[in-house]
Amino acid sequence: MFALSAVACARVANPDGWAGPTIVEGTLYMTPDNGEMAAIDPDDLSDVSNLNPVVTPQWSFPATEEVLCENEIEPTKRDLRGIYGVPPVDDTSVYFGGYDGNVYAINRDDGACRWVFETDGSIIGGPSLSGSKLYVGSDDNLLYVLDVDDGSVIASFDAGDSIWVEPLVTEDAVYVSTVSGDLFSLDPETLNPIWNEPFSVVSGLLTDPVLTNEATLLVGGIGQTLYAVDSATGDEKWSFEGENWFWTRPLVADGTIYVSDLDGNVYALDLKGTLIWDGPFQAEHSVRSAALLEDDTLLIVDSKGNVYGVDPANGFGLWPAPAVLGKTVLSDPIIFGDTMLVVARGGDLFLVDLQSEGRSFLKIEVES
């Protein structure tokens, strides 16, 4: 168990940053470099030339080595090192956490820093936005609730160990787990525990909590096990054993759970944890990116940038061969028109054509 945890720590101690892209109200927000957040006009992706596939961001943060946030007195040198988790966006701001331990609220219009909040540990899970509150966990063992207007702390909760997941926020509860294997249900206003005790396992929980319905939570991690937990009581409903760690957000669609492990196995389960396919679909490499379901095709991207089309009914491959991007991919892809938009390690953008027989793709460089 110690060795497994050490490997997990090593993967994050040398930050790659695996923030997935998001498009909100006509703007693409992504990380062109591990320690940068950028805003791009999606129309620019359609206009790029195949001979010169380069786009220039509308803004990037940090734009300079020293940054003055509105809640600071003097400019501060900023080296975010890595950004994890899809950034939530509201009418005014883009929110994200850095491996430098800070939470940032960046103006959507020009990339200026509205406020910064400092924690005592690296931020590895993405923040969750709910109304006027931002929920974010840190490697300092604390879950914070921040006021989105000024970054002030509304409440905090000591989870007892590092939080590497994006909190799941519902109207009635906040669900968050730790690398030591505890899953908590907390009051969204006060962060007081709702369950009598946390759901606990002996191995770290790494997947973002996901609801299959109002009554069941899914979590998984280092112990090669995916757990279904009663959202009201914290009791285990069922579990499923994979071949390696689960470090991928499960996809729940049409009554089916699609989840991948670090051996490259992609499984389809019903809501009771029973395998639907005769066997898993086998990617060539480990899978860290969440699956997408588009036009009756399950889209899978493995860690070496191979993109697969899979029949969701039986787990058989639908394409003659995967699209081979040739770059490390750890973040979740998104659908962009008739393409899949993938952000690879180092910030390269790939547009994978989902309509062409050869599954062609275009690699786009984002200027710093």
Residue type present at position 209: P
For 130, what's the count of Cα atoms within 13 Å in the CB-facing half-sphere? 17
pLDDT of residue 351: 92
pLDDT tier at 359, thresholds 50, 70, 90: confident
In angstroms and rounded to an integer, the radius of gyration of the C-alpha atoms of the chain is: 20
Nearest-angstrom CA–CA distance, 54 and 236: 49
Is pLDDT above 50 for 289? yes
Residue 72 within a domain = yes
Nearest-angstrom CA–CA distance, 67 and 129: 24
Q: Please give the residue range of the domain that contains residue 107.
A: 1-164
pLDDT of residue 243: 95
- Judge if the upstream peptide bond of residue 322 is cis by omega within 30 degrees of 0: no
Nearest-angstrom CA–CA distance, 171 and 192: 15
Q: Convert the pLDDT of each residue in 116-152 to its tens digit.
A: 999 999 999 999 999 999 999 999 999 999 999 999 9
Nearest-angstrom CA–CA distance, 313 and 318: 11
Residue 247 within a domain = no
Residue 346: other Cβ atoms inside 10 A: 15
The single residue listed with the structure tokens 């086998």 is: 282
Helix and strand element counts for the chain (H, E): 2, 35
The pTM (predicted TM-score) of the whole model is 0.94
Residue type present at position 164: W
pLDDT of residue 16: 63
Compute the mean pLDDT over every residue in the chain, rounded to the nearest whole number. 91
Q: Which two tokens stand for residue 26?
A: 């006509």
Q: Which two tokens stand for residue 139?
A: 């490697």
Q: Which two tokens stand for residue 330?
A: 């750890």
Which residues, at least 6 apart from 217, have a Cβ–Cβ distance to it below 8 Å? 168, 175, 183, 209, 210, 211, 228, 229, 230, 231
Contact 283, 298 (CB under 8 A): no
pLDDT tier at 49, thresholds 50, 70, 90: low
Residue 260 within a domain = no
Nearest-angstrom CA–CA distance, 345 and 239: 32
Contact 19, 43 (CB under 8 A): no
pLDDT tier at 357, thresholds 50, 70, 90: low
Residue 101 within a domain = yes
Residue 176 within a domain = no
pLDDT tier at 4, thresholds 50, 70, 90: very low
pLDDT of residue 361: 87
- 190 - beta bridge partners? none
Contact 250, 207 (CB under 8 A): yes
State the DSSP string of 253-308: ETTEEEEE-TTSEEEEEETTS-B-SSS-EE-SS---SPPEEETTEEEEE-TTSEEE
* CATH number for position 68: 2.40.128.630
Residue type present at position 327: K
Residue 98 within a domain = yes
Q: Convert the pLDDT of each residue in 214-267 to its tens digit.
A: 899 999 999 899 999 999 999 999 999 999 999 999 999 999 999 999 999 999
State the distance between the two ends of the chain, measured CA to CA, in whole angstroms.
41
Report phi then psi at 162, rounded to 5.
-60, 145
Q: What is the domain count for the chain?
A: 1
Q: Are strands 361-366 and 54-55 parallel, antiparallel or unpaired?
A: parallel
Q: Convert the pLDDT of each residue in 160-187 to its tens digit.
A: 999 999 999 999 999 999 999 999 999 9
Q: 111: which DSSP letter?
A: -
Q: Convert the pLDDT of each residue in 180-193 to its tens digit.
A: 999 999 999 999 99
pLDDT of residue 2: 43
**Residues in the chain, overall count:** 368
Residue 157 within a domain = yes
Residue 319 sits at the vertex; the CA angle it makes with 337 and 245, to the nearest 5 degrees, is 85
Residue 323 within a domain = no
pLDDT tier at 11, thresholds 50, 70, 90: very low
Q: Convert the pLDDT of each residue in 311-356 to its tens digit.
A: 999 999 999 899 999 999 999 999 998 899 999 988 889 999 988 7
